[in-house]
A and B are shown apart, each in its own frame.
Chain A
């Protein structure tokens, strides 16, 4: 079975600072990978998905970007964080129609 690692687990960043969140996956090859954001008291919003190395699809226009430099590595980045970027960021692996989620990164932008 697959294992999903995310780091850092928590992060506090000032407005305007850069961001890099990392997700790595074990136990599966060529997975579909996803970045979701969960704002407080809200559902999960799909940000990006990737079906392979270098292939990124963006679902929501914003100041975030994603990259997939390796088969089992998915990175979420920003050049300048906004207050509205605060939230719980979840990386997920797609297996068939199911999503398996990582432990998440709690980002607070001050």
Chain B
């Protein structure tokens, strides 16, 4: 079956440090990956995506790395800020309506 999971359920970082959130997937046919951020009591918000023909993509303060060899995805947040505290989900898409979400990693930023 298909699964998208996270190595760590919680992550605490000092304000100003970089954060790295990891995700593993099992379906080698997956060709599209998305990271979402979900603040408490709100719906998930799109952060960044990457296609399987890429191994790195950068946004504003965020970078997604894809390692297809080991089926691993990571989200790097530079200079983490208190507003980055949230649950981060990776999602794996294999079709128009097949978007599978991991359970999420809770990031806590310590001032």
Residue ranges of A at the interface with B (Cβ–Cβ < 8 Å): 4, 32, 34, 41-44, 46, 49, 57, 90, 92, 94, 97-104, 106
Are B44 and A98 in touch, CB under 8 angstroms? no
Interface size on B, residues (CB 8 A): 21
Ordered by A's residue number, 10 sampled pairs between the chains whose C-beta atoms are within 8 Å are: A43-B4, A46-B97, A46-B99, A57-B97, A92-B43, A97-B32, A97-B99, A98-B46, A99-B34, A106-B41
B residues in contact with A102, CB < 8 Å:
43
- How distant is the Cα of A92 from the Cα of B45 in the complex, in angstroms? 11
Give chain A's interface secondary structure class.
strand
Are B44 and A42 in touch, CB under 8 angstroms? no
Closest to A59 in B: B97
- How distant is the Cα of A106 from the Cα of B100 in the complex, in angstroms? 21
Query: B81 at interface (Cβ–Cβ under 8 A)?
Result: no
Are A97 and B93 in touch, CB under 8 angstroms? yes
A residues in contact with B42, CB < 8 Å:
103-104
A97-B32, A98-B34, A98-B49 are known contacts. Are A43 and B101 too (CB-CB below 8 A)? Answer: yes
B75 nearest CB across to chain A (Å): 16
List 11 other contacts, CB 8 Å, given A97-B96, A100-B46.
Answer: A4-B43, A42-B103, A44-B44, A44-B101, A57-B97, A97-B34, A97-B49, A97-B93, A97-B99, A98-B46, A101-B36
Are A103 and B97 in touch, CB under 8 angstroms? no
